[in-house]
Amino acid sequence: MLTQAQLQTLRAAIDANPTWAAYPHSGDGYYDLARAMNTEDSPAFYVWSTSADVAAVRAAVVWANLTPADAPDGTQAWANRSLQCQGKQFNLQMIVPFAGTINGADANLRAGLQDALTGIRSAAGGASQGAGWAAVAQALTRKAKYAEKALADTSSGNGGAKNTPATLTFEGDVTAEDIQAARSL
């Protein structure tokens, strides 16, 4: 059930689109408009996915960057870098399941992944490098439907690209009843 504020936002989106505003105020019109708003937005509008494919996330990780490039030399500095790499690997193991999906909309989870995949002192001489955070972040997004876009929170990203996803405040399909309630305001 949409909140009053969401219904008002949905109505504003309908009224701002001449094609949507032209749908009749009737049972068939509400149904047809709901069906139109439940299709993928074009041009694409990106949001954090609540069910990102773990295989895509794992494929985006640069796993080789999570181990020291230099051969062990017996120094404490090398041991410290190796321990840092292990710590980041452990974090990844805790955050990313082996299969299934992961909630990319969870800001705390994203922060953990970003931490595990950046600032890794594993390059030659202990130089810092990343292990694919930008690609992983993009794997945590998906394209939104028109209705989801209309109701999305763009305060942390405008949704115009995979690297600037918006946050869903509503996920799924609007119903003919939702459309009727929004248009009745």
Peptide bond connecting 43 to the previous residue in cis, omega within 30 degrees of 0: yes
Is there a single domain that holds both residue 43 and residue 56?
Answer: no
Interval 114-155: pLDDT, tens: 999 999 999 999 999 999 999 999 999 999 999 999 999 999
Helix or strand (DSSP H, E) at 57: helix 54-60
Do 135 and 152 fall within a single domain? Answer: no
60 plus 42 within the same structural domain: no
pTM of the model: 0.92
Q: Which domain holds residue 117?
A: 52-139
Looking at the structure, tell me whether residues 57 and 135 fall in a common domain. Answer: yes
Number of domains present in the structure of the chain: 2
Give dist(CA 178, CA 53) in Å, integer.
30
Q: Per-residue pLDDT tens for 20-65?
A: 999 999 999 999 999 999 999 999 999 999 999 999 999 999 999 9
Q: Are residues 75 and 119 in the same domain?
A: yes
119 & 66 share domain: yes
| 68, HSE (Cβ side, Cα atoms, 13 Å) | 16
Residues 134 and 72 in one domain: yes
Instruction: Extract the tokens encoding 10.
Output: 């949905």
Same domain, residue pair 57 and 133: yes
**Measured at the alpha carbon of residue 168, what is the angle toward residues 13 and 95, in degrees to the nearest 5?**
170
